[in-house]
Structure 1
């Protein structure tokens, strides 16, 4: 009788572990999907940043030399 009860407890614990395992598998799949989405978003933002940086650098190159340097300071005397 005691052995049957022990087997039942072990079987119940195994069932709970299997349910928990399935929950963790689903959670892991959702997290992997989020990582993929965020990685794609990060790559897109990096690409946009690079394009914006290129445009800013091109605009800076078009500025006249005097405008690119520091403004001349007046002598306080």
Structure 2
């Protein structure tokens, strides 16, 4: 095995760092895409929840306030 000069060692290290940097950038891009998809899904679910709450509130408003009294109970 031949000894590398300091310049060659630095160049090899820089190349490895560049490759790693590119990998991290790709991973970051994928994570950003996933985050955006999850944000859209969360927002859609929040919207559906709000709509469901509105429907439930409307149903509750139509219910009688006092339940009808059973004439058999004292």
TM-score interval, normalised by the smaller of the two chains: 0.7 to 0.9
Indicate the structure with greater helix content: 1
The alignment's C-alpha RMSD in Å is: 1.6
TM-score of the pair, normalised by structure 1: 0.81
Q: What SS does structure 1 have at the residue aligned with 2:66?
A: helix
TM-score of the pair, normalised by structure 2: 0.84
Question: Where do residues 45-64 of structure 1 align in structure 2 (5 Å cutoff)?
Answer: 45-64=45-64
* Distance of 1:36 and 1:16 partners within structure 2: 30
Report the alpha carbon displacement of residue 65 of structure 1 after superposing the two structures with TM.
Answer: 1.2
2:33 aligns with: 33
Paired residues in the alignment total 66
Question: Please, which runs of 5 or more residues in structure 2 have no aligned partner?
Answer: 68-72
2:9 aligns with: 9
Following superposition, which runs of at least 4 residues in structure 1 exceed 4 angstroms of deviation? none
